[in-house]
Amino acid sequence: MAISFDLTGKVALVTGANTGIGQAIAVALAGAGADVALAGRSEPAETLDLIAGTGRKALNIRADLSSIEPVGRIVAEVVSGLGRIDILVNNAGIIRRNDLAEFTEEDWDAVIDTNLKSLFFLSQAAARPMAAQGSGKIINIASLLSFQGGIRVPSYAAAKSGVAGVTKAMANELAARGVQVNAIAPGYIATNNTAALQADETRNRQIVERIPTGRWGSPDDIAGAAVFLASAAADYVTGHVLAVDGGWLAR
Kindly list the domain boundaries of the chain, sorted by start residue. 11-192+218-243
pLDDT at 161 over 70: yes
Confidence of residue 1 (pLDDT cuts 50, 70, 90): low
CA dihedral angle for residue 184, residue 77, residue 41, residue 8, rounded to 10 degrees:
40
**Topology of domain 11-192+218-243, CATH:** Rossmann fold (3.40.50)
Average confidence score pLDDT of the chain: 97
Q: How far apart are CA 9 and CA 72, in angstroms?
A: 23
CA dihedral angle for residue 47, residue 51, residue 54, residue 56, rounded to 10 degrees:
180
Identify the active-site residue in 91, 122, 156, 161.
Answer: 156
pLDDT at 164 over 80: yes
Respond yes or no: is residue 236 known to be catalytic. no
pLDDT at 89 over 70: yes
